[in-house]
Chain A
Amino acid sequence: MKKLTKKRKHDLIMGYLFTSPWIIGFLAFIIFPLITSLFLSFTRYDILSSPRWIGFQNWIRMFTQDPRFWNATKATFKYVIFEVPLRLIFAFIVALIFSQRESKVLNFYRAIYYIPSLIGGSVAIAVVWRQIWGYDGIINALLSIFGIKGINWLGDTRTAIWTLILLAVWQFGSPMLIFLAALKQVPQELYEAATIDGANFWGRLFKITIPMVTPVILFNLINQMIHGFMAFTQSYIITQGGPLDSTLFYAVYMYRKAFNDFEMGYASALAWFMLALVGIFTIIIFKTSKRWVYYEAEEGV
């Protein structure tokens, strides 16, 4: 008995000792800033002078007097709504194609397909992307071969956001790898049984493959959505939010409010609104997931 309590005491001390970096980091760099910014969202604060309490003014201004806030929200939603599903669909289709065969060459290709995920978020690629879609860029040069006069893709409100969506879809490599691993885990017997029962390719796809990978789809969906809502570099470098705010991503707007205008209070309100929005969407996806995500009986044991 005595030995047990000694062990327990040791574990108690050791448990907190081992996890102390996280506990300190969580309190100092996550909880403290979050609470501070919630408080600041009710103040006017420019860093230099101390914050002044203004009640709900930031929030009221956000929803009723700030058209650019709505532009940013709209642009971000448009981006997320197209970018996330397109990327996942692309990743899934390519993973499906890869899973049909096995060879050394395919492993090489798989690596090649992953490269955009690796470098796509970098400033370097953003700079290149800007040139590709620029007026004297690759796309227009290609079009001119066919006698089509190109447009200024980045300067047109109809096309600018699509260049950013395309950049995101291009980086389908990492969800593809995840799908590929999930596809390999689908038991072969299921397919064999279905084939004997007369199921064709589409039947097998919709009755077996897709249901079996729905947990992975769920994970990817949430992960990509959170990232999508917070996209920054692409908009900041490639289009600078323009033209006419059509690519003004929420994170870019927040950044400008905070670090160009030094409206820290207002930027805090913006941050909290986005946090709430992402939270709500995550909960909605989780709640509906019970209906469309298929869990094997033995999972979670």
Chain B
Amino acid sequence: MSKKTLNSIIYYAFVTLIAFFMVYPALWMLSSSFKQHWEIFSDVLNLIPKEPNFNNYKEGWQGFGGITFATFFKNSFIIAGLNTLGTIISSTLVAYGLARIPFPGRRIIFMTVILTLMLPMQVQIVPRYILFTQLGWINTFRPLIVPAFLGGPFFIFMVMQFIRGIPKELDESAFIDGADRFRIFYHIILPNLKPVVTTAAIFAFYWSWNDFMGPLVYINSPEKYPVSVALRAFSDPSAVTNWGAVFAMSTLSLIPVLVIFVFFQKYIVQGVTTSGLRG
């Protein structure tokens, strides 16, 4: 065997080994969700269930307090869906304004976007809670949706970077022809934003879907819980006896995320690298 093939073998063995560690927790969860109750912890290292069955899924889906996971998933889809929609609308509008329209005050507004980018969300959660209490928004989906319609700094910045890469002649010539800014935005800029809007939509959905602290704070009746908060209530170590059901619902909660990842991988990689590199 030549030195080159030996190197290749070592190389691929190494990257495969790390890949195994990367997926192991998820695989373990998946396999446990198909195991029988007694098997999960007594045969903890075995990744292949002895008699795979869907009982855990059936039992888990019943949820708790008479509320099934159908409700929790529905809540999550409503919140994440509207959050994503709001993010797309607001971030494209604001990004176009900041990237293309010269007007006094633009620099200051851009600065506020950048500064907010570095403001941790958790720091704002107490004052926001007070604000939402005064508005009567507590225990509604509004605190988790309305802010998205007013623009997230990360997404505004990402779309701005993208618009800056579109040749200026494209919209400037239309402007000279007398089209107003709204028409230029709608007919010329927006159709060109497809890739970055896809990336923004994916990340907005992910963040909203995975968000735990937000709904934990703003929502208090179980029938309004999204999946993340429901899972935590469902998996309370002092109350749980049926771990198989917990793992089954945990697995289900990751499926939307993983499905999007499989189909839109290219956009995700692009999103991570471009917004990272130019940050």
B273 an interface residue at 8 Å Cβ cutoff?
Answer: yes
Instruction: Establish whether residues A122 and B44, one from each chain, have CB atoms under 8 Å apart when the complex forms.
Output: no
Q: Which residues of A from 107 to 123 have beta carbons under 8 Å from B? A: 109-116, 118-119, 121-123
Instruction: Establish whether residues A24 and B127, one from each chain, have CB atoms under 8 Å apart when the complex forms.
Output: no
A60 an interface residue at 8 Å Cβ cutoff?
Answer: no
Q: Which residues of B from 96 to 119 have beta carbons under 8 Å from A? A: 96-98, 101-106, 109, 112-113, 116, 118-119
Q: Which residue of A lies closest to B15 (CB)?
A: A109
Q: Which residue of B lies closest to A28 (CB)?
A: B150
Number of A positions contacting B (CB below 8 A): 95
CA distance A200 to B196 in the complex (A): 40
Distance between A83 CB and nearest chain B CB, rounded to angstroms: 15
Q: Which residue of A lies closest to B246 (CB)?
A: A127
CA distance A131 to B44 in the complex (A): 10
Instruction: Give the residues in chain B near A259, CB-CB below 8 Å.
Output: 129, 217
B210 an interface residue at 8 Å Cβ cutoff?
Answer: yes
Number of B positions contacting A (CB below 8 A): 90
Instruction: Give the residues in chain B near A22, CB-CB below 8 Å.
Output: 90, 94, 109, 112-113, 150-151, 156
Interface string of A200-220 (1 = CB under 8 A from B): 000000000000000010011
Among the 9-residue stretches A30-38, A62-70, A287-295, the one with 4 or more Cβ atoms under 8 Å from chain B is: A30-38
CA distance A229 to B120 in the complex (A): 9
Instruction: Establish whether residues B150 and A21, one from each chain, have CB atoms under 8 Å apart when the complex forms.
Output: yes
CA distance A54 to B247 in the complex (A): 48
B131's contact among A32, A115, A130, A254, by CB below 8 Å, is which?
A32
Known: A36-B131, A136-B41, A271-B127. A131 touches B243 (CB 8 A): yes
Q: Which residues of B from 14 to 46 have beta carbons under 8 Å from A? A: 14-16, 18-19, 21-23, 25-26, 28-29, 41, 44-45
Instruction: Establish whether residues A18 and B97, one from each chain, have CB atoms under 8 Å apart when the complex forms.
Output: yes
B57 an interface residue at 8 Å Cβ cutoff?
Answer: no
Instruction: Establish whether residues A105 and B150, one from each chain, have CB atoms under 8 Å apart when the complex forms.
Output: no
CA distance A285 to B214 in the complex (A): 29
Instruction: Establish whether residues B130 and A264, one from each chain, have CB atoms under 8 Å apart when the complex forms.
Output: yes
